[in-house]
Amino acid sequence: MSNAAYAHHESHDFDPGPVELHARNVEFEWEDTPLHWIPNHPVSSNVISMLNLLLPEGERWFVQTYNETLPLVKDEELASAMRGFIGQEAMHAETHDRVLWEFLKNNGVDPTPFQRQMEWVFRKVLGPSNHPDPNVRHKHLVERLWLIAAIEHYTAVLGDFALNNTWSEHDADPAMTDLFRWHGAEEVEHREVAHDVASYFGDSYLKRGRAMLAVLPALLFVINRGTRFIALNDPAGRTGYVGQWFGYFRGARKGLLPTMRSIIFATFTYFKPTFRPSQVGSTSQAVAYLASSPAARAAHK
């Protein structure tokens, strides 16, 4: 059993109670982190590193959409949770943006072409509506809120995975491990906010399901595209399509990557009428990790 998995079992022994969300001003140093930061597992390393290509623009889109939404929320408890969510996501965007240039670029992978595509997707395709009818603009906003709720379901699933994988047993780079575990813990910590915000503007099973049906193929497309981008630009040599899949299944068997089964199960779980985000992960485990994370602890000093 991995240290993280052991912590997962231990963490269920206490209840942290209501958690007030707040951003942690973390910093990471990347000078000594190699591109293949999980030794002997280049594909697993690149698949996880691919998330750095997607996250900065996606997180900025979350922040922009919630800043647009916040004046419309009259429930102060929900508004407070939103402000905490905004602070955490803004820090995630800033931190992963630094990774692009201080880690990927310095290791020979120029993220510029892919970043331009992500800017177009999140700023143009998914940006605010300019329709003259305020009702149309409001409807468009609510649709974006449900898209965020669907995406946040997967970030919570990946956050739970980050806290319970086997990276440490495979001597993964400590800084990159802490980056994704810190981020994953905060995703688990605030996993209910996006669902609650979307529900505030209309708790509709139809809207929830429709958003997931749009998000799932889009995520699979950009994840595959991002992974291929790094594989084709890896200075150590290109990895072909077959080699990528072989590396993925090898990593998943060893607990370095989420299994296909776990992703499918998480997707079906979201479609249950009784679904609640609290069913994913453990708040107590997330809080416990954030109390021990080297970067999070350094931010308090």
Query: Given a cut of 90, is residue 211 above it in pLDDT?
Result: yes
Closest CA to 258 of 157, 153, 156, 148: 157
**3-50, pLDDT tens digit by residue?**
444 344 444 455 565 678 889 999 999 999 999 999 999 999 999 999
Is-contact 53 233, C-beta < 8 A? no
- Pairwise pLDDT comparison (154 vs 2), residue with the higher score: 154
Query: Given a cut of 80, is residue 170 above it in pLDDT?
Result: yes
Closest CA to 55 of 22, 17, 104: 104
Query: Given a cut of 90, is residue 258 above it in pLDDT?
Result: yes
**136-161, pLDDT tens digit by residue?**
999 999 999 999 999 999 999 999 99
- Average pLDDT for 119-130: 95
Write down the pLDDT at residue 6: 37
Half-sphere exposure of 32 (CA within 13 A, CB side): 6
Instruction: State the Cα–Cα distance between residues 235 and 220, nearest whole angstrom.
Output: 25
274 CB contacts (<8 Å, ≥6 apart)? none
Write down the pLDDT at residue 8: 45
Percent over 90 (pLDDT), the chain: 87
Instruction: State the Cα–Cα distance between residues 33 and 22, nearest whole angstrom.
Output: 28
Query: Given a cut of 90, is residue 301 above it in pLDDT?
Result: no
- Average pLDDT for 226-246: 93
Q: Which of 131-140, 182-191, 290-299 has the lowest mean pLDDT?
A: 290-299
Query: Given a cut of 90, is residue 2 above it in pLDDT?
Result: no
pLDDT band at 297 (very low <50, low <70, confident <90, very high): confident
Mean pLDDT of the chain: 92
- Average pLDDT for 91-102: 95
Write down the pLDDT at residue 300: 64
Query: Given a cut of 60, is residue 182 above it in pLDDT?
Result: yes
How many other C-beta atoms lie within 10 A of the C-beta of residue 13?
A: 8
- Pairwise pLDDT comparison (282 vs 10), residue with the higher score: 282
Write down the pLDDT at residue 9: 42
